[in-house]
Every structure is written in C-alpha cells, then in structure tokens.
Amino acid sequence: MIAPYIVGIGGTTRPGSSGERMVRAVLAATERNGATTRMFGGAELSALPHFAPEDAERSDAQREFVEAVRAADGIVIGSPGYHGGVSGLVKNAIDLLEDLRDDRRVYFDGRAVGLVVTAAGWQACGVTLQALRGIVHAMRGWPTPIGIAVNTFEQQPFAQDGSLADDGLRRQVAMQADQILLLAGATR
Ligand SMILES: Cc1cc2nc3c(=O)[nH]c(=O)nc-3n(C[C@H](O)[C@H](O)[C@H](O)COP(=O)(O)O)c2cc1C
C-alpha cells in the first residue's frame, strides 16, 4: 500500500515559531502511523512571491508548493493570530492554491485539513481558528473536528529538548493526526 502523503503549511518567519513546531508535531504523528510528509514552514512560505491572479508565470517555489498540495492526501495548516486573524504569510500561500481551481480534486476537495492556531490570547486563538475553518470550507476541504489552539502567552508547549511538553496538546495532536489519516484512508 502506498503511504498517505500529508502536507504541512504554516508558522511564522520567527526563529522557533511555535506554530511551525506545532504543525511539524502533527506531521510527525502522521508519520508514526505510516504517512510521508512535506513541510512548508516560515522559510518556504516567505519564498513565495505576493500572489497575483493575473500573473501567467510561476516561480519554482510556487510550482513546488502547488504540486505538493495537489498530490496531498491530507493537509495541516497553522497560522498565528495576527491582529485578530490569519497572517498574510499563510494567506498568501493559500491564495496561490487558486491554481488548483480547474483540478478534478479542486482546491482541498476530499481531503481532511487539520488546523492549528498560535496566538498570545484566547480571543485571537478562537477567531483565527474559526477563520481558517471558513477558508477550508470555501476551498471544499474537510476541517478535522479537532482544531488546535495554543495560547503562547499562557502555555509552554515545548520542553527544552524541543519535544511537546503539554499532555493536553499531545493528545490533541495525536487525535488530529488520526482524523486526517482516517479520511485519507477512506478516500484513496
Ligand atoms: C504583527 C503581530 C500581530 C499580532 N496580533 C495578535 C493578536 O491580535 N492577538 C493575539 O493574541 N496575539 C497577537 N500576536 C501574537 C502572536 O499571535 C503570537 O506571538 C504567536 O505565538 C506567534 O506565532 P509563532 O510563535 O508561530 O511565531 C501578534 C503578533 C504579531 C507579530
């Protein structure tokens, strides 16, 4: 059987971005269950030019990103709460997925999308998670029942060695990974 392919998108350009580490944690949990993964974190997302629908040309970085999502059996998106919403860096990458509009599996169609938000307060955690769910619905994806919100002001998700230190978050990461793989297994 071919391993499910899960693509992670998100985080910030900040070294040690908690959002990127959380998305990587979900990918790692899918890998433990047999998936192969690809991560587009802060560095890769900042290599994507500002999306312009009228541009006919695509850069190598843009093509690589679109092809990865096109091939994905499941997706994880992580955004910080920036001024009460999804960051421009993450939204720019999502907007580029307009290139999937004419695909048989348009946008995120038929794929589970795990969502992760990191913010310095619960209000931004909640509204940003809700905004991401709306985006995924608009793009015909299936947001997993488990959405993960981390309040980086109140929570210390990671230990010194980089492992996920919080039991509750560890459980949520494992559940989200299972839910992504469940739909991936049912639709392949
Ligand atoms: C430009 C900017 C805007 C932000 N706006 C909010 C906000 O509206 N609400 C909030 O709770 N935190 C806000 N934050 C804090 C970030 O959401 C928080 O630091 C988050 O952990 C950043 O993610 P990262 O750890 O992946 O870099 C903001 C941070 C920046 C840099």
> In sequence order, what DSSP letters do the residues of 74-107 get, joined into one string?
EEEEEEEEETTEE-HHHHHHHHHGGGGTTSSS-T
Cβ–ligand 1 distance for 45 under 6 Å, the answer: no
What is the predicted pLDDT for the residue at 158?
93
Q: Which amino acid is at 155?
A: Q
162 pLDDT band, cuts 50/70/90, is confident
3-state SS class at 179? helix
Radius of gyration of the chain (CA): 15
Task: Locate 55 and state its tokens.
Answer: 């541009």
Tokens 């998108």: give the residue: 9
Give 25-69 pLDDT, tens digit per residue: 999 999 999 999 999 999 999 999 999 999 989 999 999 999 999
Q: What is the CATH number of domain 5-187?
A: 3.40.50.360
Could you tell me the residue ranges of all domains in the chain? 5-187
The residue to mutate among 152, 153, 155, having the most atoms of ligand 1 within 8 angstroms of its beta carbon, is 152
Alpha carbons within 13 angstroms on the beta-carbon side of residue 85 total 6
